[in-house]
Amino acid sequence: MMRERQETGKAKKIFTGCFWIGLVLSSWMIYGSVPAAGAEVEKGKKVYEEKRCAMCHAMNGQGGKFGPDLSHVGAKRDRDWLIKFLKDPGGTVPGAKMLPVKASEDEITALADYMLSLK
C-alpha cells in the first residue's frame, strides 16, 4: 500500500513537470520565445527611453516620423529577429537606415522583450 502511494506521488510529480515543460515549449513555438517577465519589459522600456528611440519612432501616435511606427511590432516580429535587427539593422534588412543600437547584450535583449510586449 505504501509503495503504491509513493509510485502515485512520483507519477503526479512527473506529470506536473511534463505539463509545465509542455506549456513552456508550446509558448516558445507560438511566440518564438518564452514571454518575457515584467521586469525585463520594464528594463527594455527604460532602454528605449534612454536611447531616445522615440526621436525617430512613434508609438500610439507619439514620437518621431523618420522610422517606422512600433505600436504593434510585437505582433509582427519574434524575439530572435528583433535582437538581430537591433544589433545589425542593415544586415537584417538591406537598405535599413537605422544604426545599430549601442547597448550591452542584456540591454538589447530587454529592448527586444519590451518591443515584443507592443501588440
Minimum mean pLDDT range among 20-29, 37-46, 49-58, 94-103: 20-29
Regarding whether 111 and 78 lie in a shared domain, the answer is yes
Per-residue pLDDT, 75: 95
- Distance in angstroms (rounded) separating the CA atoms of residues 58 and 91: 23
Per-residue pLDDT, averaged over 9-34, amounts to 51
Regarding whether 89 and 55 lie in a shared domain, the answer is yes
This prediction's pTM? 0.69
Regarding whether 70 and 21 lie in a shared domain, the answer is no
Per-residue pLDDT, 59: 93
Regarding whether 79 and 63 lie in a shared domain, the answer is yes
Per-residue pLDDT, averaged over 81-91, amounts to 97
Regarding whether 40 and 22 lie in a shared domain, the answer is no
Structural domain harbouring 11: 1-31
Regarding whether 1 and 50 lie in a shared domain, the answer is no
Residue whose C-alpha is closest to residue 102's, from 89, 118, 114, 113: 89
Per-residue pLDDT, 24: 45
Per-residue pLDDT, averaged over 71-95, amounts to 96
Regarding whether 77 and 22 lie in a shared domain, the answer is no
Mean pLDDT, all residues of the chain:
82
Confidence of residue 23 (pLDDT cuts 50, 70, 90): very low
Regarding whether 65 and 17 lie in a shared domain, the answer is no
Per-residue pLDDT, averaged over 50-67, amounts to 95
CATH of the domain at 42: 1.10.760.10
Regarding whether 83 and 48 lie in a shared domain, the answer is yes
Residue whose C-alpha is closest to residue 70's, from 58, 55, 53: 58
Q: Domains in the chain: how many in total?
A: 2
Per-residue pLDDT, 20: 47
Regarding whether 91 and 78 lie in a shared domain, the answer is yes
Q: Is the dihedral of CA 92, 104, 79, 29 positive or negative?
A: positive
Regarding whether 87 and 44 lie in a shared domain, the answer is yes
